[in-house]
Amino acid sequence: MSRVGKKPVTIPAGVTITVSGDNTVTVNGPKGELKQTLDRDIHVEITDGTLTVGRPTDQIRHRALHGLYRALIANMVKGVTEGFIKKMELVGVGYKASNTGNILDLALGYSHNIIIEIPKELKVTTAQEKGKNPEIVIEGTDNQLLGQVCAKIRSLRKPEPYKGKGVRFAGEVVRKKAGKSAGK
């Protein structure tokens, strides 16, 4: 049995979960509504404020999907109750970030600024304090969408291994290389 898949998901007060006929799980909560379509072989049971995910056989495909869908549903429940927040920082001279609504304007050392439209489901804020690196804070209820947008922003200027310049997640440790002078 999958270690993640066999754990029950507790449904907090104020959250309703419904499973439709085409195996679509809908989670409603104080922060919004999220939907996820499950594989037709995976079945979901809701009893006494807990949700359990089951699989029909021990095939490799069913074992892989069992833990995946349980984790996705648990993230949906956490998203509609608490929400998710990701913080990113820009490390480098002249790197700047500003936003107007959900449009993010980044200066990352290229000859032009990069303008990204953040999906309306997410909320973005930027901060630039003296003596600190510029910071981007993105929050929302959908963990998959949030991670995808953050990965896209990070891919615009990944942290390089010699000086550590680039866009990184807050608290991310970048391993640095020694460089050419280390060999002498």
- What's the average model confidence in pLDDT over 66-92? 94
Residues 28-51: pLDDT tens digits? Answer: 999 999 999 999 999 999 998 899
**pTM to 2 decimals?**
0.88
> What is the total residue count of the chain?
184
The answer to whether residues 101 and 53 touch, using CB atoms and an 8 Å cutoff, is no
- What's the average model confidence in pLDDT over 166-182? 87
Residues of the chain above pLDDT 70, percent = 97
Q: How far apart are CA 41 and CA 65, in angstroms?
A: 9
Phi, psi (deg, nearest 5) at residue 135: -125, 140
- What's the average model confidence in pLDDT over 19-35? 93
Residue 51 tokens read as 């949700």
* Per-residue model confidence (pLDDT) at position 180: 82
* Per-residue model confidence (pLDDT) at position 3: 83
* Per-residue model confidence (pLDDT) at position 2: 67
Q: How far apart are CA 130 and CA 167, in angstroms?
A: 18
> Measured between alpha carbons, how far apart are the two ends of the chain, in Å?
55
Using the predicted structure, report yes or no on whether residue 183 has a pLDDT greater than 60.
no
* Per-residue model confidence (pLDDT) at position 178: 86
Using the predicted structure, report yes or no on whether residue 6 has a pLDDT greater than 90.
no
Residues 94-121: pLDDT tens digits? Answer: 999 999 999 999 999 999 999 999 999 9
